[in-house]
Amino acid sequence: MPQAPNMKRTYLLRTEPSGDLSAAVFAVGVASPLESLGQLEKELKRKHVRGKVLFDLLLAHGSKSNRYFIGDFDGEHFRSAKFSNVDSRYKDFSVISAQVLQKNVKQVDSSLLSQAMRFALEKGIPF
């Protein structure tokens, strides 16, 4: 994501397809990536992404409920401004999230998480 030198990144984007996902977006702090959809759409388009995009909002919400959402990206825009809650697939997605967040722990603001959740984040334990 292009940004000014002192501007902190609000999300991580992974575009390696996994299962039925074309990309995954992870909040890295209290700002939700859903607040930056225009910028995210430009980045997804530039990376030639098309299909289902997973959003992990744990670090923006600080809670495991309403954590995972999926939006359908048509190569230019999300087809709908409404995203589907997919917390029902928590077991699958929490493993992906744990790996990505652990690898990027220095970019993450975990201030909304409990101490136990911070420990799991640092160790790559799904939570």
Q: What is the pLDDT of residue 56?
A: 97
Contact indicator for 41, 62 with CB cutoff of 8 Å:
no
User: Higher confidence at residue 9 or residue 93?
Assistant: 93
Q: Does some domain include residue 5?
A: no
Strand-pair category, 68-73 with 23-27: unpaired
Q: What is the pLDDT of residue 9?
A: 75
Residue 1 has pLDDT above 70, yes or no: no
Q: Which residues contact 6 (CB under 8 A, 6 or more apart)?
A: none
Q: Does some domain include residue 28?
A: yes
Number of structural domains the chain divides into: 1
Q: Does some domain include residue 34?
A: yes
Q: Does some domain include residue 6?
A: no
Tokens of 81: 């401004």
Q: Does some domain include residue 1?
A: no
Residue 90 has pLDDT above 50, yes or no: yes
Residue 56, domain extent: 11-123
Tell me which residue of 3, 22, 29 sits closest to 11, measured CA to CA. Answer: 29
Q: Does some domain include residue 4?
A: no
Single pTM value for the model: 0.89
Q: Does some domain include residue 32?
A: yes
Encode burial over 94-106: b for 16+ CB neighbours within 10 A, e otherwise: bebbbeebeeeee
